Structure 1
Amino acid sequence: MNETAPRVIKIPAKPESVRQAELQRQLRVAAYCRVSTKEEDQANSYEAQKEYYTDKIMSNPVWTMAGIFADKGITGTSVKKREDFMRMIRHCRQRKIDVVLTKSVSRFARNTVDCLYYTRALKELGIAVIFEKENINSLEEDSELRITLSGAFAQSESESISANVTWGKRRAMESGKATIQYKYLYGYRRGTDDKPEIIPEEAEAVRWIYERYLAGASTRMLRDELHEQGVIYAEKSPQWTLPHIKSILRNEKYCGDVLMQKTFQQDVINRKVIKNTGQLPMYLIENHHEGIVSREKYNAVQAEMARRKAAKSPSKRATTGLSAYTSRYALSDRLVCGECGTLYRRCTWTRPDGKRVVWRCVSRLDYGKKYCHSSPTLDEAPLQQAIIAALNTVLPDLDGRIRQITEALEAEVIPFPGSGMSLGDIDRRLAELEAQFQRLLEKAADDPIAYGDQFKEILEEQTALKELRATILAESREHAEADRRIRDAAGMLENAVPHITEWDESAIRQLVAQVKVLSKNEISVTLKSGIEIRQSISN
Structure 2
Amino acid sequence: MKRVTKIEGNNDSKKKLRVAAYCRVSTASEEQRISLAAQKVHYENYIKANQEWELAGLYYDEGISGTKKENRDGLLSLIADCGKGKIDFIMTKSISRFCRNTTDCLELVRKLLEWNVCIEFEKENLNTGTMESEWMLSILSSLAESESVSISENEKWSIQKKFQNGTYIISYPPYGYKNVEGEMVIVLEQAEVVKGIFADTLAGKSPHAMAKELAEKGVPTKRGGTWTSGTILAILRNEKYTGDVMFQKTYTDSRFNRHINYGEQNQYLMQGHHEPIVSHEMFHQANEVVKQRGREKGNGTDTGKYQNRYGFSGRIQCGECGGKWKRRIHYKPSGSYVAWCCSQHIAAKQSCSMKYMTDEAVKAAFLTMMNKLIFAQQTVLRPLQKSLKGLDDKDRVLKIQDYERRLEKNREQRQVLTSLMAGGYLEPALFNKESNVLTREAEMLKQEKGNLIHAVKGNKARVDALEKLLRFTAKKKRVTEFDEEVFRAYVDKSVVLSRSEILFELKCGLNLKERLVD
TM range (shorter): 0.3 to 0.5
Which TM-score applies when normalising by structure 2? 0.41
Larger Rg: 1
Query: RCO greater where, 1 or 2, for CA within 8 Å and sep 6 or more?
Result: 2
Which TM-score applies when normalising by structure 1? 0.39
